Amino acid sequence: MSSPRDRDGADDGGDWQEPPHLSGNEPAGDSDIEPNIADRRMKPRDSDHTSDRETWTPPGWDLPPATPDRDLPPATPDRDHLPPAGGPSGVPSQDPSPAPAGKRPGGGFFGSRRRAPGEVEKVFTYEGDAVGAQGWALQQGWTISDGNAPEDAVLRDLVASAPVRPTKDHRPASVLRGRSGTLDLVAFDIVFASGRYLVPEYAVTAAPLLGTVPGLRLSPARLWKHRTGGLVPIPSGDEAFDTRWQLLAAEDTPQVRRLAQDPAVHGLLLGTDDGDEFWTAAGHLAAVRPDGHRPQLLEHHARLLNAVVNALAAGF
């Protein structure tokens, strides 16, 4: 097969030229030859108007004009010419600290005013106030131990029997002992180790019992019950109380019935947030709450335990 390079025996193809209809360099004038595709890419097609597809752009697609002073913050005065921090008198100003990032003045992410906490929230909001609880105990003449004293051995039995399902890593700590009302009380935190720190997870206050009391559980009805095998429900006869609280006991005795129907116990428990559980074990009646001890909680548990023990002791 021959090619343009074979013409006249020349091998370098120096005299060969591309046909005019392929090169796109044909002379101007009428031509019945379809223009080359390369021609179309080099020169856009002529049209009396531009198509909508070529002119339409999505809203916001075009950038704003690049003006030098667009959206600039107000000018900041030179640091050397700023007034003294405390004003002309030189007294330090009492400017409030800036609001946290992401929040507006007035509270909340949308500027709404934050609701003032109620009395129950003030009492039962965890504050991690171990030092405050110990200070309160010292003011009341109570004693303090770390949970490793010989008299604290019984507390491990209370931890093991607690209705909150503690693990083998939980142990008593920050033990406070003293008297409130007619009772000798022991209060402590159930803690677990996290690295080098002890984290309080539950607050327990217990009162030693002199007489024999059957095993019982007094719990908010809304809470799931653990370790209730062998316990029977003891109704109080008060629908409002039975809706919120449930008493379970190993035996249906007159002593337990008096507790179930005691009006003082009903009044105190119905006035709470249903956050405490009571149980008997190791010769104690104990109250537990998922919290750390603080003065308000110590006083709260002391009031409840005095009422419950008095109701149980009425039969002795």
> Is 12 inside any structural domain?
no
Q: Looking at residue 123, what is its pLDDT?
A: 52
Q: Looking at residue 152, what is its pLDDT?
A: 93
> Is 31 inside any structural domain?
no
pLDDT (tens digit per residue) in 227-260: 677 899 999 999 999 999 999 999 999 999 999 9
> Is 36 inside any structural domain?
no
- Whether 312 and 259 have beta carbons less than 8 Å apart is answered as yes
> Is 280 inside any structural domain?
yes
Domain that holds residue 196: 130-313
DSSP secondary structure code for residue 271 in this structure = T
> Is 193 inside any structural domain?
yes
- Whether 205 and 186 have beta carbons less than 8 Å apart is answered as yes
Provide the domain count of the chain: 1
Band of residue 281 on the pLDDT scale cut at 50, 70, 90: very high
> Is 10 inside any structural domain?
no
Check residues 136 and 225 and name the one with the higher pLDDT. 136
Q: Looking at residue 90, what is its pLDDT?
A: 41
CA distances from 80 to 19, 47, 52, 64, 76 (A): 78, 64, 58, 36, 11
- Whether 114 and 108 have beta carbons less than 8 Å apart is answered as yes
| Lowest-confidence segment of 23-27, 94-98, 127-131, 195-199 by average pLDDT | 94-98
pLDDT (tens digit per residue) in 156-208: 999 999 999 889 999 999 999 999 999 999 999 999 988 888 899 999 999 99
